[in-house]
Structure 1
Amino acid sequence: MTRAHSDIDVRPITEAELPEWLRAVNTGFLRATTVTEKELEARRERFEASRYIGAFDGGRCVATFRSFAQEVTAVGGTPVAADAISAVTVTATHRRRGLLTRMMSQDLAAAKDRGDTVATLIAAEYPIYGRYGFGPATSATEWTVDVPRTGLDRHRAGPDGGGRIDLVDAEEVRKLGPELHDRVRGAVPGVVSRGEWWWRLNTGAVRVDPKWTEPFYAVYRAADGEVEGLVVYEVDDKWGDAKQPQDTATVRDLLAATPAAERALWGYLCSIDWVTRVKSGQRAPDDLLPLLLPDARAARITSTADWLWVRILDVVRALEVRAYEGAGSLVLQVADRAGLAGGRYRLEASEQGASCTPTTESAELALDVGDLARLWLGDESVARLVALGRVREERAGAALVADALLRTSRRPWCPDMF
């Protein structure tokens, strides 16, 4: 007998229910449902009772939801408080019962009460999250580099300008990585914070994924010895006919605080013996990689898709905290079916700063809160959204003003999955 929707209990879980919750997470992501003691131990380190939500049909967890504190870099480099959402599943036997809506509503209301400016997530499927006010705010592109075609000299001594590449171990990465990452995220909108647990997890000090394998780590040091870049990569073992190596180096993470570091790290990857292909991992769509190569066609796009999704919770804070490359004003009518961030706002912006205030003036642009999220990090065109019917121009020429204010000279980027 099927239970009524109201009979399914949606609530924060207790620590004792964590094994059952993790079993449901694994079921939802089509993984082996067995929960190991190591996984439990690692998850208990980060357990926050109020931010792990489960839907229970009897004693069985049939839907899961988790959020955690995060910062995301706004245009101009200021970090803002974000409610990062992860581990969202609904078991196939309990779809179309409003369970995700109930979990999402609870979490976003709590995030609003905490004073978070935005919520963030990485969407496994595109159509799900728009109805909750999220919009795709960054994209990611992966290139596959045909190393022999690049035109790079694979036998040159090393980076130019007195810098050098050093192989390091996981322990050193845990020491050097956080400071380098903070430098990068202060310069690139869309980059999210990484806490100590992230560095432990991604260097093998914490093991959650049983398939995790030890990668290689290399850092770029400038002539003065300062670490300006880090690459984490793995290499397969493939040989062709006549004993010809055909290995692929796959980048797990590449951070560069300077163009020199970026150039040096890609050059290093393309110079490793036996490596004939380099897979870039998820990069910004306007990454320097292809144009760093003498033959840019050696870098072929193998995937490109939406990446970080954002949900605006505080319009005033979101628009005031970011930087602007020009000056202008707009009156925005923001629709929000959840009632969390809707209203009419006047934005006054310049290179010196911005103010955003509620107003009763006539709107110049009307848009949904999800489309405001698309625009917030500077990656989307207002004119394109007007052409699509997603944004409505209430005053002729308002879209051009908005694009001049909101677009950025470089595209935002989020390097992380969470």
Structure 2
Amino acid sequence: MSRRTEIDVRPITEAEFPDWNRAMNTGFLRSPTVPADQLEARRPEFVPGRSLGAFDGERCVATFRSFDQEVTAVGGAPVRADAISNVTVTATHRRRGLLTRMMAQDLAAAKDRGDVVATLIAAEYPIYGRYGFGPATTMAEWTVDVPRAGLDPRWAAPEDGGRIDLVEGEEVRKLGPELHERLRRAQPGAVSRTELWWQYRTGVVDWNGSQWTEPCYAVYRSADGEVEGMAAYRTDDRWGDAKQPLNTATVDWLIAVTPGAERALWHYLCSIDWITTVKSGWRAPDDLLPQLLPDPRAARITTQADWLWVRILDVAAALEARTYEGRGSVVLEVVDRGGLTGGRWRLEAGADGASCVPTTESAHLVLDVRELGALWLGDESAVRLAALGRVREERAGAARVVDALLRTSRRPWCPDMF
């Protein structure tokens, strides 16, 4: 009988970065070969101590990377986050606890740094709940049947006096970061973007060798000239019988800081000559798009799924960082099998702020830290989780109290994949 060798889990060195990338590509079902130019494009993401690998001898067989991030809490406060990405385990080394070991190392380091939460986008749903992550936002993608939408075919410019301009990538890199910061300050669930993010999305850096093709970039300026919205989109060239256009505009990303900008950008996309279908890209589940159309049924949801997952690392800091529309108090017993932030906490909250302190009082609601992560941004319902048996009321009506405090009038949204 063959004996399994001991697997070494540790931060990688810069010299091991090529082998780590090969393992990551393998795990994501890409070609293992990483050309030199792609490898150099990825090097800025290497931060000593934040890229972990599992090594069977000299070969890297699992990957894990984290980086500093800010996520916007309800009310607009930026919260320090440990963003997790590039998680893979090679198929030959599954079921050996490699992810568990890497996750434990990273979360412990994040806790020591003072990060309030950890975040990730889950490729597979069942994996991350056991590490204390809960799905905190949802995304949806709409496909718009443009001829059915009922929009004015003579539309040529926004009705509010604003304008749409097509720009180049250089101008996107100049205007985009400030616009995104305005969005992020107002959008619970939004995360920070680095300069590298804008370079990737405008073709300055080719991260994955996808033979970059430049999209079209549209900028909305209000009547007074202020940039309030921006979109990147791609079009195809498809024609049907009798030379009828069947072209699709696919949105890579669209951000807007006013409803007028959002309306104008969607109307523009639906007015482009020959475009009969618009694919919205990843949007909030309560996005305005369908209701901006005279016939909302022209927009059908083609994708809807969990998106940003949150793992609470500091209960008090997380609950005190956000705002509350109502006033009330509740005692939460948070179960954390990872040993990072469990305990019993009294939350006192109102429009003027919140206090969350340890207590020995009897719990009103008992919940796992993963459920607290799902509730934190206001999208999930404690009443719903109680019905599912995932939280337990120790005082009748406690779940309704939690909902009255935590739920929000608009749903949180994370525009980004990372």
Same fold by TM-score, threshold 0.5 exceeded?
yes
Does structure 2 retain, via aligned residues, the 8 Å contact 1:154–1:270? no
1:236 aligns with 2:236: yes
Mapping of residues 144-293 of structure 1, within 5 Å: 144-211=143-210, 212-293=212-293
Which amino acid is 1:319 matched to?
L
SS in 1 for 2:118: strand
1:116 aligns with 2:115: yes
1:356 equivalent in structure 2 = 356
2:140 equivalent in structure 1 = 141
1:91 equivalent in structure 2 = 90
Does structure 2 retain, via aligned residues, the 8 Å contact 1:343–1:358? yes
Aligned length: 417
SS in 2 for 1:32: coil
Mapping of residues 311-326 of structure 1, within 5 Å: 311-326=311-326
Q: How far, CA to CA, are the matches of 2:4 and 2:401 in structure 1?
A: 50
Q: How far, CA to CA, are the matches of 1:95 and 1:268 in structure 2?
A: 48
- The structure-2 alpha-carbon separation of the partners of 1:318 and 1:243, relative to structure 1 and needing over 3 Å to count, comes to same
2:295 equivalent in structure 1 = 295
SS in 1 for 2:66: strand
1:331 equivalent in structure 2 = 331
State the 1:244 CA deviation. 1.1
SS in 1 for 2:42: helix
State the 1:3 CA deviation. 4.9
Q: How far, CA to CA, are the matches of 1:68 and 1:111 in structure 2?
A: 10
SS in 1 for 2:271: coil
Which amino acid is 2:182 matched to?
R
1:366 aligns with 2:383: no
Q: Which runs of 5+ in 1 are unaligned?
A: none
Which amino acid is 2:250 matched to?
T
- The structure-2 alpha-carbon separation of the partners of 1:118 and 1:2, relative to structure 1 and needing over 3 Å to count, comes to farther
1:19-77 superposed Cα distances (whole Å, 9 cap, x missing partner): 10000000000001111111111121231120000000011100000000000000000
1:182-211 superposed Cα distances (whole Å, 9 cap, x missing partner): 000111100000011111111111111222
SS in 2 for 1:81: strand
1:125 equivalent in structure 2 = 124
Which amino acid is 1:213 matched to?
T
Q: How far, CA to CA, are the matches of 1:195 and 1:208 in structure 2?
A: 14
1:86-145 superposed Cα distances (whole Å, 9 cap, x missing partner): 000000000000000000000000000000000000000000000000000000000000
Moved more, 201-210 or 72-81: 201-210
Q: Which runs of 5+ in 2 are unaligned?
A: none
Q: How far, CA to CA, are the matches of 1:282 and 1:45 in structure 2?
A: 26
Q: How far, CA to CA, are the matches of 1:414 and 1:2 in structure 2?
A: 47
TM-score (norm 2): 0.99
Q: How far, CA to CA, are the matches of 2:3 and 2:200 in structure 1?
A: 39
Moved over 2 A (4+): 1-5
Q: How far, CA to CA, are the matches of 2:246 and 2:209 in structure 1?
A: 27
Q: How far, CA to CA, are the matches of 2:45 and 2:97 in structure 1?
A: 28
1:386 aligns with 2:386: yes
State the 1:245 CA deviation. 1.1
- The structure-2 alpha-carbon separation of the partners of 1:303 and 1:98, relative to structure 1 and needing over 3 Å to count, comes to same
